[in-house]
Amino acid sequence: MKTRLNSFALASVLLGSAVLAPGTASAGVRVCTFPGSPSTALDEAVAREAFRTAGIAMSLAPGGFEGSDDDGVSLKELNKALARKCDVIAGFPRSALADGSGSKLTFSRGYLQSGYVSVTSRGSSAQASSAEVVAATYASPAQLIAVQQAGVKLDLENTAQLTVDAVASGRAQRAIVWYPAVVAYAMEHPQRHFEIAGAASPYADWNLVFAFGKNGAALQPRIDAALEKMASDGKLAALTRAWRLPESVQAAGLHAGTFAYRDGSGRSDAAALRMTLAGNRQSPQGRFIKVDASAPAEAPGFDRAQVAHGKTLYSSACAKCHGPDLQGLNAPALRGPSFAPAANSKLTIGGVYGYMANNMPADRPGKMKPQDYADIMAFLLFSNGYSAGKTKLTDDNAKASSTPLTAHTPQ
């Protein structure tokens, strides 16, 4: 699973007393999983048992999302799936810092605490003579974790499966990867054995939950009660046993305050766990938007005056985390191939801008003026080789840009 940080909005049907709308009565509640997710088998098994325990008819809805790759799910795709093809999403990943959702979603309690881990091949040894090669999945929390580590050379892969394979095949000495992807890979390749360690980052800790749109929001209390019953009678533990993080990783929790001023608001592990397990319905609006397959658009214009103003704002609000030269300190670099690759970018300018405007600065997320965020974006574009012109970049234009974020050669 490539865990993009998307913002979601949804559609509706009456389910207050298990009464389904006309289009869904024959098949029961329609449950989707994410395309390409390595935890699909687990998600479907937990869904069947949870809905059976709750006494609610359900059916799995294969093909709920267009496409079956691991490129993430765009806002448009999610809207369409939940409006037309499914009522509930099983295997929705949530994090206290960047849980990829909007406030219109309702969530169940978590049924699996998982996250991102550091993976090496069992018995392997690092080469002391050169920088350690660390694989990570492009445009996912794995990349955000990896770029914060000093003295490493990144091997960016397109899928979580390829990220694990980079270690198995020797292309990388280590990988930062979504743990269910390791489990799925080991199931397919039982001859492969890995050493698993914790990934010390606020982006590492996630929970799998059920996400309900307006079509299924009334089911949330009943599914929560079913999950609680499954937890007490041991059925949930039996279903998730093979997928749970190793005890050594669970014991290596983060300390409160360790990651002050990193992207997203800081919380201790205890607070994060309380939020995810309680099914908190409010969540940050930050997200990463994947590049659409349609014809590329031109980058939005900006002028030199706002580049200068954006640089001043960046120095006061962003440099303490991202570095005075955008090189990255205790937050990712905002210049160079990990941010704006020369080609084949999977992030859009609008997606990066939306994430920044909703989540930054880390100590005051979303609190700056819209035009100030646009000026900072102009500075970031200019710093990555885009040329200034005569058109002013606005908040609306920045949000709407579907242009891939790639490094440019200054004219």
> What is the predicted pLDDT for the residue at 158?
81
> What is the predicted pLDDT for the residue at 321?
78
Domain 304-400: give its CATH code: 1.10.760.10
| Burial readout 344-382 (b: 16 or more C-beta within 10 A, e: otherwise) | ebbbbbbbbbbbbbbbbbbeebeebeeebbbbbbbbbbb
Residue 390 has pLDDT above 90, yes or no: yes
How far is Cα 32 from Cα 44, in angstroms, rounded to an integer?
9
Q: Are strands 112-121 and 194-198 parallel, antiparallel or unpaired?
A: antiparallel
How far is Cα 282 from Cα 277, in angstroms, rounded to an integer?
13
Q: Are strands 29-33 and 88-94 parallel, antiparallel or unpaired?
A: parallel
In this structure, of 207-216, 254-263, 271-280, the range with the lowest mean pLDDT score is 271-280
Domains 22-112+206-277 and 304-400 share a fold: no
| Burial readout 81-110 (b: 16 or more C-beta within 10 A, e: otherwise) | bbeeebbbbbbbbbbbbbbbbbebbbbbbb
Residue 381 has pLDDT above 50, yes or no: yes
How does pLDDT run across 61-89, given as a tens digit for each residue?
877 776 544 445 655 677 677 778 889 99
Looking at residue 233, its amino acid is D
How far is Cα 268 from Cα 282, in angstroms, rounded to an integer?
18
pTM: 0.62
How does pLDDT run across 200-230, given as a tens digit for each residue?
777 788 899 998 887 778 899 999 999 999 9
How far is Cα 181 from Cα 84, in angstroms, rounded to an integer?
29
Parse the chain into domains and list their residue ranges.
22-112+206-277, 114-198, 304-400
Among 286, 245, 232, which residue's Cα sits nearest to residue 117? 245
- CA 56 from centre of chain: 30
How far is Cα 34 from Cα 41, in angstroms, rounded to an integer?
11
CATH 3.40.190.10 correct for 22-112+206-277: yes
Do 88 and 219 meet the contact criterion of CB atoms below 8 Å apart?
yes
CATH architecture of 114-198: 3-Layer(aba) Sandwich (3.40)
> What is the predicted pLDDT for the residue at 362?
67
